[in-house]
Structure 1
């Protein structure tokens, strides 16, 4: 029996998405070493996982034009032919997809070309969430946002989002959009896991303040927090992390985090992966967690995190072992901000940060 799916509002839009988003990086793709590590699932395998996800209540699927050299969008489009209206379909553009000088980036030309190619591969007439996949240091933000706004006005895109931006880049984009009355970013997609909490320094406060939805990629740090790894490595030679050390982690701390995950998993008779996902789902800023799946049993295990409620002692253990090093100016602003609250207020304590303040 599947756990009851839950849904969150995407930023300040009226759109609701499932707390788990099915990631499409494992779908399709070329037979290369990188493809083998990430997953190059066939059409039949992709269909099985997509159907399983939709049947479990997942209504949110994310991919990108660069995944599998377009192969992910192609097999996903075929898999969704009969169930397209059940899905909030998201894809991304920015990475190089061809040899030409304009086959990359966020120029108006590339955005419009990439959009048409994604629509064709996905066999759909609209993209529900169209996202820039990174920061383009060349194209002015005004050009990027105007092109995305035109895509929305054309009816080919419903909402726009971004991925892998710094907090200042996100806030600049929001400022430009509001100044020029352009479609505003509804979401930001970022790496967030127990093994990677850097986003708490600047991005979490930014998305919270701006009411931007937060979508988390690689919640298990490329499989490192799945329970397959310990200080001796992994016995699963096909595991993604055993083949590609991505995303980077602090090797001096990560195994302490894994040990803590196993302690908490034992308390709840569950898996370390479920604990890591449950911890992330409980973070106040998080809208949806993107899960990459290679096998149906992985999806079934991940879904179990929906019903896992961690105790205060569990959160305390996991928070402490994974707490990121204080970064300036956050640490001094947090220190000084305590004087703004009356005596006895919860935020007079010693463990909160500015990103957790009430708005």
Structure 2
């Protein structure tokens, strides 16, 4: 298993990270535990979750169950030290999580208390904010994103306040490192600058969507990651299953993400299926499994720290693991570049 270090933290993680967002809805506690054990046996030491999980669907009734699944595994296995654990503090807009309030210095210890209790641990390795208070252009909002209503002064003050609260948690030993999710290049730079001003924890990672189908980061966030030593954690590296090819020609497999989320969060478009076919053709031309090609491409981007993937069965997990050592050659990369130029931003 390929390994790397998160930013400047010294925390070593596998370049594949096990996502958990379906544990508690699509997956049972036992299935979640089986996935953790299989991942660890393959050399994956990194697990990502969030206080608002599980998804499909999101609901007040299930909120927190995913962290509880992981916590039960820690309690039963006594293997907390074998896992680099990442979780996330929800931001503004989720009504049943702290009444939909924004992230503040006051909300951080409260949210962390809840996560630690559910996870049955006394520390989080990587504590992330799920999205910025000012909003984000992620999740297809890029088409209409308008930052002109933002207050720069309020944003920077909130960053400094939050970093102060995070540093207090670092001093208490409750978190080891800090990361953002769904953040822009400007936001990452401001977090880095604020950490220098306040001596708060320096941002180690940013978790944004990135795949063959979604390469917004190439034009701005990648440069910030390089120059500020911030590692990207990609989510949806298989484009919510589109890149497996299983949804081509109108197929909707039972129990699949598409069967539960008919629009795939805005990713289901005619142009998306055309782009998928182009990448399937590249994989077929070179005799590569398309899942393995998609994962290897994201893993080896120069700004990438780790690739977060989810599986709804151990069989799917095994399929991904079979390609963990694949490295794409120059000819494959040339054909991927051609497909990307022909099908930019397909959703």
Extract unaligned runs of 5+ from structure 1.
30-38, 327-359
CA contact (8 A) 1:60 1:87 kept: yes
2:238 to 202, 207, 220: 220
Which residue in the other structure is 1:10 paired with? 6
1:285 is displaced (CA, Å) by: 1.0
CA contact (8 A) 2:90 2:97 kept: no
Q: Name the TM-score, length of structure 1 as normaliser.
A: 0.81
1:89 aligned onto 2:50: no
Which residue in the other structure is 2:312 paired with? 294
| 1:292 to 1:182, Cα distance in 2 relative to 1, 3 A | same
Residues 218-268 of structure 1: per-residue CA shift (max 9 Å, x gap): 1011111112022x2224132103432234348354233322332233345
Question: Aligned to 1:129, what secondary structure does the other structure show?
Answer: strand
Which residue in the other structure is 1:240 paired with? 257
1:45 is displaced (CA, Å) by: 0.9
RMSD: 2.0
Which residue in the other structure is 1:322 paired with? 340
1:98 is displaced (CA, Å) by: 5.6
1:307 is displaced (CA, Å) by: 2.1
| 1:27 to 1:57, Cα distance in 2 relative to 1, 3 A | same
CA contact (8 A) 1:264 1:275 kept: no
Of residues 236-245 and 163-172 in structure 1, the stretch that sits farther from structure 2 once superposed is 236-245
Which residue in the other structure is 2:65 paired with? 71
Which residue in the other structure is 1:42 paired with? 28
Residues 257-295 of structure 1: per-residue CA shift (max 9 Å, x gap): 322332233345442111111111121111100011110
Residues 2-32 of structure 1: per-residue CA shift (max 9 Å, x gap): xxx1101111221111010001101114xxx
Which residue in the other structure is 2:16 paired with? 20
1:285 aligned onto 2:303: yes
CA contact (8 A) 2:2 2:325 kept: no
1:308 aligned onto 2:302: no
Q: What is the CA–CA distance in structure 1 between the aligned matches of 2:274 and 2:296, rounded to whole Å?
A: 18
| 1:257 to 1:317, Cα distance in 2 relative to 1, 3 A | farther
1:62 aligned onto 2:48: yes
| 1:97 to 1:84, Cα distance in 2 relative to 1, 3 A | farther
The number of residues matched between the two structures is 311
Which residue in the other structure is 2:148 paired with? none
Extract unaligned runs of 5+ from structure 2.
55-62, 135-153
Q: What is the CA–CA distance in structure 2 between the aligned matches of 1:248 and 1:219, rounded to whole Å?
A: 16
Q: Name the TM-score, length of structure 2 as normaliser.
A: 0.84
Q: What is the CA–CA distance in structure 2 between the aligned matches of 1:284 and 1:252, rounded to whole Å?
A: 30
Question: Aligned to 1:306, what secondary structure does the other structure show?
Answer: coil
